[in-house]
A and B are shown apart, each in its own frame.
Chain A
Amino acid sequence: MIEARDVSVAIGKKRIVADVDFEVRPGEISAIVGPNGSGKTTFLKAMSGDLAHTGRIVINDRELSTMKPVEAATVRAVLPQATTLSFPFTVREIVRLGLVGGLAGMLPGENERLPERALARVDLEGFSGRFYQELSGGEQQRVQLARVLCQVWAPVLDGRPRYLFLDEPVSSLDIKHQLIIMNIARDFARRGGGVVAILHDLNLTAMYADRIFVMHRGRLAATGSPREVLSDELIERVFDCRLKVGVLPASDMPFVLPQSSVS
């Protein structure tokens, strides 16, 4: 599992993330929610090893700061919010970059077929020969997800779980593809991996997350299952707007209904 304790991140003199405790268990999706500028992405960057931080981040019993790039690349893959390119790579060439570390967890011969299989999973079959720069934002996002999936194709490698870090994986997608992507994340977790996802859609979060971390002004405002965390009071306070939290009677799943006027 991944355990973060007392993680703080400062950029310049400004503290963006303060004393965050966080965990991802194999088999679970941990969602991070919170308003814009609450430090979600900064925290995920610290967990990805991009930003200096204080506190401890331990992945599968290894301190993150002691891991080499290639070791970290073996246990987790990171999907950024958006990726722009300045060279005309084809979709296949981009997806194949997920294998640059060479540890997808597949037999050597299978690596060649992996890009096509990953593309099929994100509903981009037949896109191999297209140029990345010509795709729509949503399609580009799915190509990047296919690349990320190639990197950690097997959710468990040598008996140790691997992790997906997803920064707003569905933000530019239509509803069908939002569900496809979230199902991929759930499937990855079901097969023994762990998923961290920054999400904005609270209903999608309620539907898929096993554990929700609510961030507010750089700190954790609440942690727990969707049922524990999603309440009128907390969500209204954190997001500073009026909404109603209900529960779907059949599934006991909470849902969030925004009210039209800002508080």
Chain B
Amino acid sequence: MADQSIAGPVKAMGASEGDRSGRARAVILLLCLSLAIAVLLSLTSGASDASAVNVIRDWLFGTVPGDAALSARDSLIVYEIRLPRVILGMLVGAALAVCGAVMQGLFRNPLADPGLIGVSAGSSLGAVAVIVLGGTVLAPATALLGTLALPFAAFFGGLATTLVLYEVATRRGQTSVATMLLAGIALAALAMALTGILIFMADDRQLRDLTFWSLGSLGGATWAKIASVGPIIILALAAMPFLARGLNALALGEATAGHLGIPVQRLKYTAIIGVSAAVGASVAVSGGIGFVGIVVPHLLRLLIGPDNRYLLPASALLGASLLLLADAVARTIVAPAELPIGIVTAVAGAPLFLWILLRKRGVIDL
């Protein structure tokens, strides 16, 4: 019944046994460091030989006389191509990982993940609707929202899916995993079918847009894109730490969380809206990037335990680092061409996910 890795008693780092907060803080500190390294790595690597080191030195200390090597080209590549890409990667990685952790807390289930249960598919539907119908049926909306139309549509697609899913899968405060996964499959299939109809209706130019978008890539990162989705993701992520205590209590069930003084309804709807917004915004800019939301929180739970006060910030940091790493792999492994990052995360994440399933067999009751 028991998980292999959790067999022995927890050796505490602090004063009291069973208190893992000291360890969690240490891990978070290490993750900050690893993110910094991932950022430097991403800025300095790429198809072009532009030296980010020079650019950063220049930025820190001013131009060194005689350092003519620092060309305008280097500066352009770092500031206009790599830096936006790194920032977008961090935002998306953090959003996906944190949303995974929050959904798992909300559904009281370590297998819940926006990609797995149809939320991302719902977001995609919204995004595709804007790409295809933006010039016709949805013209007023795109005219009104401009570049925000895509993330907004993705948000509402994700929100609708999550709400339906929650209503279907939850009975008297208990979420049935089987129902959740099956309902997720059904909703994803429905969203994909509708997406298919839209793609069928699309013209050639739209098809090109769709293909590039749906492969899942950080390649199109620009400052304009960051300006449109960055605030949404940052706002949603900033709200999540306030849910941590409530999500911890929710682990004991909805009724008990309420008895402990948690306003459960408000918690649930804040979480659902936050997740839909962050996933929607991520999907809108980078397409479907899978498995970050399930693998990152799981690895961290093994390290620091399931306390969301530490799990959420740690997930943000590890998610951001891992996505930068995956993007570095995507950019360099077939250079000068580029692999869609969704392929990289799936190749690395899917086997990990299967491993999680194997270890949980018998612990999780489907």
Contact = CB atoms under 8 A, between A and B. Distances in A.
Interface of A: 45, 48-50, 68-74, 76-78, 80, 83, 85-94, 97-98, 100-101, 103, 112, 115-116, 126, 128-131, 133-134, 151
B251 A89 contact: yes
A69 B256 contact: no
> Which one of A50, A87, A128, A133 has the greatest number of beta carbons of chain B within 10 Å?
A87
B1 to A, nearest CB: 7
Given A49-B258, A92-B19, A98-B260, A133 B251 contact: no
Interface of B: 1-3, 6-7, 9-12, 16-20, 108-110, 245, 248-249, 251-253, 255-256, 258-264, 301, 305-307, 363-364
A262 to B, nearest CB: 32
A232 to B, nearest CB: 37
A86 B19 contact: no
> Which one of B3, B16, B18, B248 has the greatest number of beta carbons of chain A within 10 Å?
B18
B253 to A, nearest CB: 6
Nearest to B255: A50
Query: At the interface, is chain B mostly helix, strand, loop or mixed?
Result: loop
Contact of A133 (B2, B12, B252): B2
A69 B301 contact: no
Nearest to A96: B19
B18 A48 contact: no
B251 A86 contact: yes
Contacts of A133: 1-3, 6, 363
Given A86-B108, A97-B248, A128 B17 contact: yes
Given A89-B307, A93-B18, A93-B305, 4 more contacts: A78-B255, A88-B3, A129-B12, A151-B260
Nearest to A102: B261
A91 B364 contact: no
Given A92-B16, A131-B2, A133-B2, A83 B9 contact: no
Contacts of A49: 258-259
Nearest to B17: A129
Nearest to B265: A69
A101 B260 contact: yes
B11 A129 contact: yes
B17 A48 contact: no
B259 A73 contact: yes
B20 A90 contact: yes
Given A69-B264, A93-B307, A100-B248, A48 B2 contact: no
A150 to B, nearest CB: 10
B179 to A, nearest CB: 15
A89 B12 contact: no
B305 A88 contact: yes
Given A50-B255, A78-B256, A130-B18, A89 B263 contact: no
